[in-house]
Amino acid sequence: QEIEEPFESPVEQLRQEENQKTPSSLESAGPLAGLSGVLSAEPGVARIRKPGVYSTKIRVTESQQEHVELLQSLLEDEGKPQPLPKKSPISQQHILRWGIAIVLLLAIFWSILFSEEQLALPIYDEGSSEVNRLINQMPENARVLVGFDYEPGLADELDATALPVFNHLMNQGALFTFISTSPNGPILAERFIQASKIENEYINGLDYANLGYIPGGAAGLISFIENPPGTTPYSIEGLAVWETETGEPLPPVVGINQITDYEMIILLVDDPDLARIWIEQLSPYITNPQTLASLVLITSAQLEPVVRPYYESIPQPVNGLVVGLRGGAAYSRLIGGDQLPGKFWDAFGMGTFVAALLILVGGLAYWVAPELSRTVRGQEKVD
């Protein structure tokens, strides 16, 4: 007979199998310490050890190290105040500047102190000669409109330039009407006519009329050109200039009803915009073949490049041109008078000549000095 084995449950079988296995060692280190039956970790991983020490220095070459030290020195010196170098109270540049100024002043004062004529006046100037021809063709007691549109800063130059022209007109018996689009113009006109009375006595209201200031810029000038009596009915003294119901017009404006009734229009100007406005507004009247009036410009030398194209163009909106002290001196020679430009011409010419001579000498010295220094250095090396 077969002997039946006793029945064992699965739990008991598993327990017997566990007891038959060799007991595993307990974990003694790491996060699983004290547990058994776990997968053992690698010894190098489970062992707690001190982390290694690594150097923070960068491996650099000697050239790189030099650049680092240079940058470090620059950063260290950036915040430190640097002492200013001591300057000599008298430097070479100061001596040179004072020397040039003294030479120029001596040349100018030499011309002023000696009254005799040292430099001849300009023989011929085309624009001045044309103005002289136009004035010689004018009838006696001709009516002339004069625009004073320059600033006081250039009064000396323009007064010296215009004085010979006005003395010629006064000798011809011309009667003036003064007008200006600048607030300073009426005062400058009175100042100028007082200076012109050295040779000719002109009376306000009889020989000339000062109509004062026209406001509005270009619009005011257009209004005056189209209707002179309606734009400026009174002079700066408050006198009625034009013909009214109660009185006759002043002698300088007798027979003047429109702008083309004047025999000549003279403009004293130093601003290119004002010159352009006057020329552009008067051009339709001046270039008209039926108009007998002529336009003459008296300007400073700095304005010549702007206004000369109007004089040289065809049709010609500007009939005569007197530019700067040279133009006034040339006109003074044409009329044969000892005018203001002739008194200034010697000082102006001598100062210009000495200035040009100093520029020439300075340029030669600037070019020769390096060449001499190179020659001296080459000789020293040879020795």
Going by C-beta distance under 8 Å and a sequence separation of 6 or more, which residues neighbour residue 236? 186, 210, 211, 212
Would you say residue 333 has pLDDT above 70? yes
Q: Where are the alpha helices (DSSP H) in 120-260?
A: 126-137, 155-171, 185-196, 218-226, 228-231
**Residue 148, strand partner residues:** 268
Write the single-letter amino acid at 2: E
Amino acid 132: pLDDT: 92
User: 276: pLDDT confidence band, cut at 50, 70 and 90?
Assistant: very high
Nearest to 220 by CA among 185, 187, 193: 185
Would you say residue 127 has pLDDT above 80? yes
Would you say residue 18 has pLDDT above 60? no
Q: Is 210 exposed, middle or buried (0-12, 13-18, 19+ CB in 10 A)?
A: buried
Q: Check residues 211 and 35 and name the one with the higher pLDDT.
A: 211
Q: What are phi and psi of 374, to 5 degrees?
A: -65, -40
User: 200: pLDDT confidence band, cut at 50, 70 and 90?
Assistant: low
Q: Check residues 25 and 217 and name the one with the higher pLDDT.
A: 217
* Residue 187 and residue 155 in contact, taking contact as beta carbons nearer than 8 Å: no
Amino acid 324: pLDDT: 85
Q: Report percent pLDDT > 70 for the chain.
A: 78
Would you say residue 191 has pLDDT above 80? yes
Amino acid 99: pLDDT: 86
User: 3: pLDDT confidence band, cut at 50, 70 and 90?
Assistant: very low
Average confidence score pLDDT of the chain: 80
Each residue's pLDDT tens digit, 281-299: 999 989 888 888 899 999 9
Amino acid 299: pLDDT: 92
Q: Provide the sign of the torsion angle of the four alpha carbons 18, 21, 27, 32, taken in this order.
A: negative
pTM confidence score: 0.67
Amino acid 2: pLDDT: 46
Q: Check residues 347 and 228 and name the one with the higher pLDDT.
A: 228
Would you say residue 198 has pLDDT above 60? no
Q: Report percent pLDDT > 90 for the chain.
A: 18
User: Could you give the CA distance from residue 188 to residue 177 in angstroms, rounded to a whole number?
Assistant: 14
User: Could you give the CA distance from residue 34 to residue 50 in angstroms, rounded to a whole number?
Assistant: 23
Each residue's pLDDT tens digit, 81-114: 777 777 777 777 788 888 888 888 888 787 777 7
Query: If you average pLDDT over residues 339-345, what whole number do you get?
Result: 64
Span of 10-24, 61-75, 98-112, 128-142 with lowest mean pLDDT: 10-24
Amino acid 148: pLDDT: 93
User: Could you give the CA distance from residue 141 to residue 219 in angstroms, rounded to a whole number?
Assistant: 31
Amino acid 344: pLDDT: 72
Nearest to 180 by CA among 241, 267, 273: 267
Span of 72-86, 272-286, 304-318 with lowest mean pLDDT: 72-86
Amino acid 210: pLDDT: 92
